[in-house]
Structure 1
Amino acid sequence: MTGVLAAPYGFAGNQQEEALADSVRLALSNAILDARPPKPSFANVLDRQRYQTWFADLSARLQRKLPDDQMRTEFLETLWYEAKRAGLDPGMVLGLIQVESAYRKYAVSVVGARGYMQVMPFWTNVIGDSDRSKLFNMQTNLRYGCAILRMYIDMEKGNLFLALGRYNGSRGKPEYPNAVLAAWNKWKHTPGAGVSLAASP
């Protein structure tokens, strides 16, 4: 594929293929197969307003990295949807993407991890339809990445440090988790920071 770039960082993903319980494999497969569109929905007006302020804040901050307005809107809508769906903080997912791929859709690491969240291709055989090219699709990549990270957090009983290390294939080493946590701090949204709702979708 033209336009594919090698990820520049030594932190790029290298998840290790390992034995999964049938129940875990089934849960992951079902999560990947969910065909609902990645459009955020809200139980009440307050939740919608919180999302809109988050979107306006993050859209402004991501403009230099993702200058195309439509692409940035789709990226943030999908990231919010997939992160929340997996029970993850969207800011943490943004931090992980910054460390993994620097927001490059077609990034490929030296070990073959692909896309925004640097998902290893073997996952398409384990829980998908074996079509590795789909890992360059934005929603597919974010869905795989968020589902896999959620699985690792559950496997590590909520220990985010170990779960992030497992995601990167460096479990127990501090460099990658520390880099993601530092990036997460930069992408945290503070409600009431004076962001206008005019820029919201």
Structure 2
Amino acid sequence: MLAAGLLFGALFSGPAHAGNQKEEALADSVRLALANAINDSRPPKPVLRDEAARARYQAWFEEMSRRLAKRIPDELSRTEFLESVWYESARAGLDPGLVLGLIQVESAYRKYAISIAGARGYMQVMPFWTKVIGDSDRRKLFHMQTNLRYGCSILRMYIDMEKGNLYLALGRYNGSRGKPKYPNAVLAAWKKWEFKPAT
């Protein structure tokens, strides 16, 4: 049994490159807004207002699915992942390419990644967030949509705290505010995941 657990850990939860997000004092209004965002139980299905939006989403989905095929080989898992990335990114007012780039740097698309600091899942969310804005269930950070929701909501909060300065917000997300390595890595990865629709 122990050997099976060690094998599972080696295959699915190897160390990730996340930093140590800091637990910060939050205004009650910020804490409440984050808690409400996390507790929204709507399914992660893209809301597309018109035919042009549907066509753009479909083109984005097909391109990202092609790019992710080697990292997430199972088509159903890849579909659910991309639908959730699109939904949670849009919900938080983030570019989905930024979120995909951040995931690449944080966990290399490993659902069960755990960093040396204890951050978990795709977006490497620190477990203390489940107490601050969630229901204290750390295990949910390995649930795909929950992890993406936490990560996108937290990143949005940091962008707002830094008055739109993405470089500083990314540093804060990683616990390395003011140091260039992490923000530069995410911004470089974002360029690789940018979607440029055919004209």
Task: Bin the TM-score by the shorter chain.
Answer: over 0.9
Which of 110, 126, 139 matches 1:120? 126
- Alignment of 1:106 with 2:112, yes or no, is yes
Alignment of 1:33-182 (within 5 A): 33-182=39-188
What is the percent sequence identity of the aligned residues? 73
Distance 2:153 2:19 in 1: 15
User: Any idea what SS the aligned residue of 2:102 has?
Assistant: helix
Residues 113-154 of structure 1 show CA distances to partners (whole Å, capped at 9, x for unaligned) of 000000000000000000000000000000000000000000
Which of 37, 40, 65 matches 1:31? 37
How far is the alpha carbon of 1:8 from its aligned partner? Answer: 4.2
How far is the alpha carbon of 1:7 from its aligned partner? Answer: 2.5
Look up the match of 1:5: 13
Aligned length: 191
Unaligned runs of 5+ in 1: 194-201
More helix by share: 2
TM-score normalised according to structure 2 size: 0.94
Unaligned runs of 5+ in 2: none
How far is the alpha carbon of 1:45 from its aligned partner? Answer: 0.6
Runs of 4+ off more than 4 Å: none
How far is the alpha carbon of 1:14 from its aligned partner? Answer: 1.7
Mapped contact 2:19–2:176 kept (Cα < 8 A):
no
Q: CA RMSD in A?
A: 1.1
- More relative contact order, 1 or 2 (CA 8 Å, 6+ apart): 1
TM-score normalised according to structure 1 size: 0.93
Mapped contact 2:20–2:117 kept (Cα < 8 A):
yes
